[in-house]
Chains A and B, each alone.
Chain A
């Protein structure tokens, strides 16, 4: 994405805060799988489904979650071992193959039993067999496997697999988020569609796995650009994103709920309208049929003609009666009309013969006894034809005992009008139907044929205890819209209505799945919109964050630049100050050498002239005074010279060159040979060939002064002995000058290196006290140090410690030419 962060990511270390969540997520996904397996084992499907009425996680799915969840832990190892890497690789590859196979089989509609892993899940949820992996789940697992393999093959050199793995995991997260959203909105995806839907726990586990892989890849790769100092920044954005996401999801949820409520209300209204209209129409039809019968029964002329024919044997009446009945039959759609005499014998038969079953005869008897029209409702004859019959008693006028002379039986086939009418539905629907039921004792009896079960009419009975069935509720007298499960056990929405003037109840029902189908379509679009909004918000926030990061980096860079500028300026200022100070010092020493020396020369010159030219005018004492004046001048001159030497040492530039230490020591000794000879000192040199890279003149000066010092203070010893030695020690060079002179008390150690500080009287040991100060100054400038070990009367050792050649080898090339190999051969004896 951006420039790799300079922190520990390259080394594969996991930053302590963010990815702590990653293994937890992976383990939680594995735990969901384990829970589902336990649920199957202990036969608690809730553990595998996490929601009632929803599909449970298949054992095969659970198994894969267990594997991948545990395997994801490999991804969080900073440096996975060889075994761990191969294990994860094998897991990724085998998993990918197995899941791809399952996906292919599932898309072909083949659900292998091996997926049950020995458990015995049975049944379906909304038509989908449980215990099998959804194709969508299989696809998600392919994403997981791909992300696994890609993440494993990522390395600091090959960066793209990490990016690809990240986006695989991101797609997985989005997909599972969509599934979860659908569950949250109450209309989970793929239910009732014929394809096995992923379980709620599956969606949750995928989300966890996706987040876990994303975090792991993110933390191991250089995808992020956060600098350690800016770690806090993304959390603001995560918070803002969480709030935005919650707002978006809540808004979507509420709007969907509202829409669902309205839609459901509309469907309920529709069902109610249908059931009410149908009930009214059936009631009307029944009333018409009863009215037909009643009209016959209450027609005195017709009754009289029947009476004449049957009682009085006027056979001629038969034709008129037959005509009358047949015209009624034809005009009102009866399939048969029969005229029964007082002995319940069929005397006249028009249309299809009416079977005189017990139920019919009972109705006839009841009609005759009551003198009113009696419905025999549904009856099934031997051929299986279902009929409705009405018995109308014919009572002649003037018959005091109201004894019917005959009974007319009107018979209507249910298939002719009633059943088609009941089954007819005003809109095209896959599942909607109307049921006509009647209470029969402790059971509810289905009167019409059913859409989803053959030969149900007058055969299907359900106990009244099955209260969740809308038909049962209707038989119990309930009206209005109810939700429940129908005779198939499928969730339905039903409108109930009693049919007026009958013991019948009408149930108009539709599958909830069908009612929800348009809702589901809307849900898909809603989920898509929500996801798009979430992605948009996330992308906007990430862009904003990156811009902020870039600005921050730019600010930091600008600040760095300013600091560098300021530093440069300050260095320049300081250099200028130093230059000025150096100039001042230079002009000071110039003045010292010129202006202080000129008067001295005058004093010396004129005292000398006085001494020479007025020799005779002076007493011995006067001459002594002049000598003292001249000694003072000489001393003053020496002090000025030493002061100048000291200031020169401070100002002179260092010229670091390869130094042949033994040669240098020999040169110094050679220069002091005369003094050494004069003092009679014995000199011992123990200087091995050492590699040294330092300021040659500075070191020579320091050695000269130390040698001078040793010679001066060992003068009184018998015999004076001076030793110069050197050795390499811890990458440094140690040089020492040892004498057997008077030594000094260690408590004066610091003072002896101060300029013009002396421990001995000038009469005993001449000198201004600048030598050791010069040595310290020179050694300090060469990056070394000087110290001394001594005791009064026990001699003294002065040590010089200088950086060895090793520590200076890193100097820019060219500064230091290679030491010529023939140096040793050129060494000469001093």
Chain B
């Protein structure tokens, strides 16, 4: 189990190249052992669904941005959470928006956590640190 957890990927859904780069750098600094998969828009994110159904290992956690091209993050979240295969994957919404509407909508659709993306890079690093610690080490994912 533990070994499996270390090798299971993390799916990062992020369209902004700067945010993507910074996130990857932040995770790199923390020396993540999990492979990081990236989806650059909503459609790409949804394209993972048939692959999971086909038997590919489920991600340990998904970091989902909300404002995505092609399909909105909330839409993607809704589809994942309504699918019997993907519904168990923990989804952490990582968004710049601190709007009540977004937060409550995300939780209603089944998001497991909502984190406002800090503008301050040092705080961003902290967030990455916490994420890794919690979701990859402390949290017990479903089989």
| A residues adjacent to B (C-beta < 8 A) | 586, 589-590, 593-595, 597-602, 604-606, 608-609, 633-634, 637, 641, 644, 648
Contact = CB atoms under 8 A, between A and B. Distances in A.
A602 B18 contact: yes
A606 B119 CA distance: 11
Contacts of A641: 98
A597 B22 CA distance: 14
A589 B22 contact: no
Interface in B101-140: 101-102, 117-122, 124
A598 B18 CA distance: 8
A388 B120 CA distance: 161
Given A586-B99, A597-B117, A634-B119, 8 more contacts: A586-B101, A601-B124, A602-B22, A605-B124, A606-B18, A609-B121, A633-B119, A641-B98
Contact of B99 (A593, A598, A605, A608): A593
Given A586-B101, A598-B16, A609-B25, A604 B119 contact: yes
Contact of A593 (B19, B22, B97, B120): B97
Nearest to A645: B98
A615 to B, nearest CB: 15
A644 to B, nearest CB: 7
A601 B117 contact: yes
B95 interface: yes
Contacts of B96: 593-594, 597-598, 601
Interface residues of B, number: 22
A608 B101 CA distance: 32
B121 A608 contact: yes
Contacts of B101: 586
Contacts of B19: 598, 601-602
Contacts of A604: 119-121
17 contacts: A590-B67, A593-B99, A594-B67, A598-B16, A598-B18, A598-B19, A601-B96, A601-B117, A601-B119, A601-B124, A602-B19, A604-B120, A605-B25, A605-B121, A634-B120, A637-B120, A648-B100
Looking at B96, B118, B119, B124, which has the most chain A CB atoms within 10 Å of its CB? B119
Contacts of A594: 66-67, 95-97
Given A608-B121, A609-B121, A637-B119, A601 B98 contact: no
A445 B22 CA distance: 154
A451 to B, nearest CB: 119
Contacts of B119: 597, 600-601, 604, 633-634, 637
B86 to A, nearest CB: 25
Interface string B57-73: 00000000011000000
Nearest to A652: B100
A633 B121 CA distance: 11
A595 B96 CA distance: 8
Looking at A589, A601, A606, A648, which has the most chain B CB atoms within 10 Å of its CB? A601
A606 B120 CA distance: 11
B124 A644 contact: no
Nearest to B102: A590
B118 to A, nearest CB: 8
Closest 7 CB pairs of A and B: A602-B18, A605-B121, A608-B121, A597-B96, A605-B22, A637-B119, A593-B97
Interface in B1-57: 16, 18-19, 22, 25
A606 B21 CA distance: 10
B80 to A, nearest CB: 21
A600 B123 CA distance: 13
B113 to A, nearest CB: 18
B18 A599 contact: yes
A605 B102 CA distance: 25
A605 B22 CA distance: 7
Contacts of A606: 18, 22
Contacts of B67: 590, 594-595
Contacts of B117: 597, 601
Contacts of A602: 18-19, 22
Nearest to A595: B67
B63 to A, nearest CB: 15
Contacts of A586: 99, 101
A595 B15 CA distance: 12
Nearest to B25: A609
Contacts of A590: 67, 97, 99, 102
A633 B16 CA distance: 18
Looking at B97, B100, B118, which has the most chain A CB atoms within 10 Å of its CB? B97
A601 B99 contact: no
Contacts of B25: 605, 609
Contacts of A598: 16, 18-19, 96
B42 to A, nearest CB: 15
Contacts of A600: 119
A597 B102 CA distance: 16
Contacts of A637: 119-120
A600 B18 CA distance: 10
B13 to A, nearest CB: 14
Nearest to A638: B119
B98 A605 contact: no
Contacts of A595: 67
Contacts of A634: 119-120
A634 B66 CA distance: 23
A582 to B, nearest CB: 11
Interface string B78-100: 00000000000000000111111
A556 to B, nearest CB: 47
A641 B120 CA distance: 13
Contacts of A593: 96-99
Nearest to A596: B96
A586 B105 CA distance: 14
Given A634-B120, A637-B119, A601 B18 contact: yes
B120 to A, nearest CB: 6
Looking at B22, B95, B96, which has the most chain A CB atoms within 10 Å of its CB? B96
A20 B88 CA distance: 90
B99 A589 contact: yes
Contacts of B97: 590, 593-594
A290 B101 CA distance: 144
A601 B19 CA distance: 8
A586 B100 CA distance: 11
A637 B120 CA distance: 9
A473 to B, nearest CB: 119
A599 B17 CA distance: 10
Looking at A602, A605, A608, which has the most chain B CB atoms within 10 Å of its CB? A605
A597 B118 CA distance: 9
A633 B98 CA distance: 18
A641 B96 CA distance: 11
Nearest to B123: A604
Contacts of B121: 601, 604-605, 608-609
